[in-house]
Structure 1
Amino acid sequence: MSHAAGLVRRVALTASAVIAATLASQSAMAEDINVRFSWKLKGEYGFFYLGEQKGLYKDAGLTPKLGEGAGAQAALGALIQGQEDVVVLPGIFAISAIQKGMPVKIIALYQPTTPIALISHPDKPVKTPKDLEGKTVAHAVGETGTSYLSAFCDINKVDCSKVKKIQMDAQSRVPQFLQKQVDVVSVYRTNDLPVLEERTGTTFPTLDLPEYGLGVPGLALVASNSGIEKKGATLRKFLTANAKAIDATRADPAGATAVLKGVWQGGPSDKVIQKQIEATSASMPSPDGKPMGWIDEKVISNAIELIKLDEDIGSVKPLSSFYTNELLKQ
């Protein structure tokens, strides 16, 4: 080997070593961010996993630690205790918790309106709000779809005294419906409906609640007030990476399905997962001129009015207590 060739080779090796060391350093500098879902894996969470697989969080200097949950209350409790940096849960639950004094804020709202529907049996279809009269409806405490049924009736001029809500355990609602013990049950279009229709081979008559005026804030990201103060830069990077992950999922739902399937032990079929992912993408609007997840103050105030119909909440806190858009600003 000539002296010149040897020199070139040594330079190339040195450059490679520098690049490798730089990449290793960047990886070592990646900051962990603990993210807790409020429930078990479902298609709604697919964009987090696709974003992770595509390196979108790594590019932002983050390593997300994604974990399943066991309900909104448990997730919020872990957030307050400092075990989590972000929790992912229905926005309406966060708003209710904040009104009761929990020191947290919504930092992104991906579903200003929860994609929820009432389904019925083909032989007793409920296709319009008026069709609810004379029907029995499964209800569980804290359940989004039926907790605000009285408001839905008011909006649509339905006589709610003719609608019988039958209270039961949350896990009993769907089995009772399938056994025809009740006429109507609420489901998430982004989760329950694809699973049920595949399992039963039935296309259920569906009454879309948002279509008829019931806007309940859905998929939201929540952080503690102290976390926002101490880790604002980290949360900002996380939200920016989320927006890229959501765009990537819209463009490649099959890819998101494959990635989620890989971590979802005992999950449903690929077909169901992809339907969940596509329904979730359709439920997350891209605000004109605003970043993904931007929170409209009117959505918050309307949600508070809904909560007031369901429970006595006392004097309403200032709207700025419930959310911040500061971490979404570029």
Structure 2
Amino acid sequence: MSYIRNLVSMAVLSTGSAVVLLSQSAFAETVNLRFSWKLKGEYAFFYLGKNKGIYRDAGIDVNLGEGAGAQSALAAVVQGREDLAVVPGIFAITAIQKGMPVKIVALYQPAAPVVLLSHQESPVEKPADLEGKSIASAVGETSTAYLDVFCSRNRIDCSKIKKINMDSQIRISQFMQGKVDVVGVYRTSDLPLLKEKTGSNFAVLDLPEFGLVVPGLAVVARVDAVEKNAAVLRRFFVATDKAIEMARREPDAATAALKTVWQVGPSDAIVREQVEATSRSIPAAAAKPLGWIEDSAISDAVRLIAAVEDIGAPRPPASFYTNELLAR
């Protein structure tokens, strides 16, 4: 993950520049949030909260922006161009371990909803089925980055799985053309699109179900913003909690809210399926706000990263996250 090291360097270079954290208008305080990727159903609850006035009622004017990867989203937060970034939790943990001055302030997916797809004529439905198969692999791609760990935990022989390295943009097309047997995708975004596009009923192996738990959808903030802007950010997360619950109850409303800005996106039916899959991927903890971070989720992720690369001495868990902004 050399791009993380480059990003940390960018953070160091930017420390001398002015940091703009939260702006304030005459009517509401502004929170700027950047996604790590292009629009998809996973982000619908943010747009629902904005569309239904949930953020406005909390005294917040929220600006939501598409991204072009976790690296640029994290850089925008570090450099003060954004207040918050939505990125895969595992990327944030890796960056923090390498010295990036950010913290995870909400973890909505303790287990990223990553699955392995295969064709029905040669299905992979349990870990042992992977032996003798080929799998598409790309740099930083979650489903194969920790394949050795997955094999070890499920007592299968990884040497019998052929990893074929390729550009991430062609993994799915290579799978559809039969050039690889297996490809990893997100249940919340990729799978609904593929099912609509191909009309195929794929065999699915759920990685978290078989022990590969990788932190997914997370929100990060710059370390100094956690304290300086706590009051505003707490209101933001209370409002986001309400937006997620509304999306659970009203997936059609969440779909419509997202489609107001994603007019060239897939059909309403597919976006709705993405919304519903995302809702299922966000656990509701008893007596705790949505996004609550367990210490074990961070510690387990650090050990997972250390199993595939040299990260040096692990930082203390408190270096990676805080639940302070989720307190009601």
TM score, norm. by length of structure 2: 0.92
C-alpha distance in structure 1 between counterparts of 2:307 and 2:174, whole Å:
27
Residue identity opposite 1:60 in structure 2: A
Q: Distance in 2 between matches of 1:262 and 1:224?
A: 30
Q: Secondary structure at the match of 2:48?
A: helix
Any unmatched runs of 5+ in structure 2? 1-23
Give the letter aligned to residue 246 of structure 2.
A
After the TM superposition, which parts of structure 1 deviate over 2 Å for at least 4 consecutive aligned residues?
26-29
**1: CA distance between counterparts of 2:157 and 2:48?**
45
Shift of 1:31: 0.9
Q: Is residue 2:124 matched to residue 1:126?
A: yes
Q: CA deviation at 1:121?
A: 1.1
Length, aligned pairs only:
305
Matched residue, 2:77: 79
- Consecutive unaligned residues in structure 1, runs of 5 or more: 1-25
- Is the counterpart of residue 328 in structure 1 residue 326 in structure 2? yes
Distance, in Å, in 2 between the alignment partners of 1:209 and 1:160 is 15
Q: Which residue of 2 aligns with 1:191?
A: 189
- Residue 178 of structure 1 is aligned with which of 158, 176, 179? 176
Distance (Å, rounded) in 1 between the aligned partners of 2:314 and 2:199:
46
Other-structure match for 1:307: 305
Structure 1 segment 94-133 matched on structure 2, within 5 A: 94-133=92-131
Highest CA radius of gyration, 1 or 2?
1
**Does residue 62 of the first structure (1) align with residue 51 of the second (2)?**
no
Q: Where in structure 2 are the equivalents of 1:249-328 lying within 5 Å?
A: 249-328=247-326
Give the match's secondary structure for 1:118.
strand
Percent identity, aligned pairs only? 61
Deviation at residue 288 of structure 1 after TM alignment: 1.3
Q: CA deviation at 1:227?
A: 1.5
Provide the secondary structure at the position in 2 that maps to 1:29.
coil
- Partners of 1:234 and 1:138 lie apart in 2 by 43
CA RMSD of aligned residues (A): 1.1
Shift of 1:27: 8.0
Counterpart of 1:18? none
Deviations, residues 187-216 of structure 1 (Å, cap 9, x unaligned): 000000000010000011000001111110
Rounded to whole Å, the distance in 1 between the matches of 2:204 and 2:125 is 6
Distance 1:168 1:309 in 2: 23
Structure (1 or 2) with the greater helix fraction: 1
Letter aligned with residue 64 of structure 1: V
Q: Deviations over 1:163-190 (max 9, x none)?
A: 1111111101111111111000000000
Q: 1:88 aligns with which of 63, 86, 102?
A: 86
